[in-house]
Structure 1
C-alpha cells in the first residue's frame, strides 16, 4: 500500500477499535505527526504501529497525546485577553449565572487564565467553566492545576499586558519546581472528555473559546464544529477562536458580529 493508504487504514482502525475519529483532520499535519511518532518510537512500518495501538492501551494514550496538538500558555495573546476583560466579561456581569466552555482546553492554562479574569471582575462565584478535550492525558494535567514554575515569569508578563493589575504570584504557590494554582479557581471548573468531531452540544453557553484547534481540521469538519458552537452559544453570547481562525465563509457568519480586530464574535441572530 502507499503511505496515504496506510494512513487511511490506521485512521479507520482507530475509529473502529476505540471511537477516535481523525478522518477529517488536515491530512498534511496529521501525516507529519504520525511520521514523527514512528521515528521517535522506532517503528519500521505502519503495521507495527497499528499492532502496538491495538494491543497496548497505554501506547494508545501516547499516540493520541502526540497526534493531538497541545500548545498553550496562560494569557496567550495578551491583547485578546484585554478585549475579553473590557468588551466581553463586563457584559456578562448582568447575567444571573455565567457558563463558559473551553473546547480543546489542552493542559488548562487558558482555563485558569479565564478564572483569574472572572475573579478580578468579582464574577467567579457565579460562573462555571466547562473544560473539554479529546485527550485524557492533558485533562488529567489540567485538573491538577500544576504548571512549570519556570513559565511563571512569562505568564506574569502576559497577565500584566492583558490588563492585570494584581501581583500574579498571589494566584499560585511554589511546589517542587511547579506552580500550584489556588484551588478557589479550580472549584469553578468541570473537566471532561468531549470529541468535537462526534459529540453533540451539551449546554447553552455565554462564551465559548476554541483557540487554535480548527486549523488542524479540514474545511468540512471546521464547518461542522462551527455549527456545533452556533447551537451551543446562547442569545448575545460570544465565540472566541484562534489567531488564524475565522467565521468568514462559514454558514454561521451572518449570525455573528466581530468585536474590534480580535477573533471574538458576538451572536446577534
Structure 2
C-alpha cells in the first residue's frame, strides 16, 4: 500500500505532534477538528514547535516552517478525508466521544484505508467493534512530543490482520520511527505501568509524604529518569491521565486503579498541566 495522504483526526497535543511529524517526513496531511479556533491554535503550535526544534536538532533540510505547514490542510470538514490512505485518530480518551468518530470515518474514507487509534488505554478491539473494517484497525500509542520520540507502541486488536500490521510498520518507518508490537489489553504495556506510577505519586503528594519536587527528584536521581512522574503527568495532561486511569479501573475492576482524589480535584479545577499553564508545576 502506497501511503501518500494521511488524515489526522483531532488537533490536540498529540494530533498536532503527529501532523507535524508527518509533514516533516514528506507526507500530505489533512488535520481535522471540530472548530476553527482549535485549528488556528494547532497551526501556531506547529509553527512554534518547528522553530523550537531547529534549535536542538541539526538538519540539512532547507524547508522553512511555512513549507512544512503548506503540507497540512486544516479543516473542520471530515469530507476532506475521502482520499486519505491512512488515518491516525487522536480524539480525547472518552469512549462516548471516541466511538462516534469511527462510523463517520467508515462512511467517508476509502475501503482500504487503515485506521490507527492513537490511544493510551482504550482497548483496540473495542474501537474496531464500531467499524465495518475491524481487520484494518490498529493501535498506535505515540509518545509526547511526537516528533522527538523514536519509538511507538503498536497494538494488535483481536481482528487486526497481518497485512494491517505490515502497513502500520511501513507507515511508521516512513515517519522515521521504530515500533514494538504488543497484544491488546487496556493500557497495553506502557500505560498499564505508567498510569499506576503517576497515580501513586499523586497519592504520595496527597498524603504529604513528600513534595512535588522531591518526588520527581527521587525518580531522576535514584533511577536516572529524565523526568519524574509528576513532571510527566503535566506533560501528558492531567485530564488525559485521569481518563486513562478511569479506563483501567473500568476494564479491570481492580481497586489498584482507583484514581487519586487529588488528581480528580485538580482536573476539576482546570489544572491540566503544561497545556493549561499550571498543573503540579506552573508554566508561562
TM-score interval, smaller chain: 0.3 to 0.5
TM-score, structure 2 normalization: 0.39
Structure with the bigger percentage of strand: 1
TM-score, structure 1 normalization: 0.41
Higher relative contact order (CA 8 A, sep 6+): 1
